[in-house]
Amino acid sequence: MAGPGKPCAGLYSFLFEYDTPRIVLIKSRKVGLMNRLVQLAILAYVIGWVFVWEKGYQETDSVVSSVTTKVKGVTVTNTSELGLRVWDVADYVIPPQFPDKTTRCHSSENCTEGYVGTHSNGVQTGKCVPYNSTEETCEVFAWCPVEEDEHIPKPAFLHNAANFTLLVKNNIWYPKFNFTKRNILPNISKSYLKNCKYNSKTDPFCPIFRLRDVVESAGQNFQEMAVEGGVMGLQISWNCNLDKAASHCLPKYTFRRIDNKDSDHTVSPGYNFRFAKYYKNAGGRDSRTLIKAYGIRFDIMVFGKAGKFDIIPTMINIGSGLALFGVATVLCDIIVLYFMKKKYYYREKKYKYVEDYDLEANSSYGSQGETQEGCRIR
């Protein structure tokens, strides 16, 4: 039977040839030691990293969280604009508002009645009126006088706010394991909560934070930061191993400044907002006190992961680890068959070529029949 032609040799080999692994014992100290070292490294990775460090035997879930806060603190100021005034929580815990600026003009044609510009303080009346001895501006229906946004008080207006406290109440839930907890731990009593202050070394689980301590924990100075304002991040980490008792699942607090103080981009630095107090003056007209506050914004961020033993990830990681042991064999085969001096000798021992048994048998039988028939003719 003739073999296939060259164009069909590849297809013939793919369809009609089969290779099976062959075990060859190579007595070589170099290859044997390399094989054991690779296997040892794989074993260390599977046990040390996958199972011990990453806890590959556990099913995991991400945290679902809610946060509420309460600020406490009172301070007193005495200025020419506001006089003697007491500031409490209702005064300095305010959501931000953003105003516009004035619009200059040369005549009434530059002003549109009813128009509200992006940088305007009110609704234009359509008239161009003198602003000062040299400039004119579009008249607006707005609160008067308009704000002068140039003066920043130094030192900080409410410098005593450094001693204000922030109570953080955080509830977490891991839905996959139906596990809930809060940062006010079960062993915390009312009397303890009234007197404790967070300290990373002496009292790391107290949920009450002094503002100065939070800012200084992030490497910042409270009084400097309060002048132009800033954004602080209070991070709560809940990484829980639910194979242990629930009492081992504890919050960890860290602090960092989020706005980039040291950036070269100095346009609109820090953090500020405006709020107003409304009243009627002696003449019965509506009036208000507009305050531009340079403050510190606290963003509370909660993250974490919980794990608990589960047979499915355990078996998957065990199977993956066993499969990795094949890497040692492949690596040793490459070195033995392609890089060692006796690579051709080892290649002969590893590979053995066997023809089809049926084709071999038929070929031998046909040759014997022809010989016998030839003898009878003679």
Q: Distance (Å, rounded) from C-alpha 67 to C-alpha 326?
A: 50
- Give per-residue pLDDT as tens, 236-264: 999 999 999 999 999 999 999 988 766 55
Break the chain into its structural domains and give their ranges.
Answer: 61-98+152-308, 100-146
Residue 371 has pLDDT above 60, yes or no: no
pLDDT tens column, 65-95: 888 787 877 777 777 777 777 777 777 776 5
Collapsing DSSP to helix, strand or coil, 291 comes out as: strand
β-strand partners of 272: 294
Quote the pLDDT of residue 251: 95
Residue 190's contacts (CB-CB under 8 Å, 6 or more residues apart) are none
Domain boundaries 61-98+152-308, CATH class? mainly beta
pLDDT tens-digit map of 125-163: 888 988 778 888 888 887 777 666 666 777 777 788 888
Average pLDDT score over the chain: 81
The dihedral built from the CA positions of residue 315, 318, 322 and 323, taken in this order, carries a sign that is: positive
Interior angle at CA 190, CA 187 and CA 195, nearest 5: 100
How does DSSP classify residue 342? T
**pTM across the whole model:** 0.67
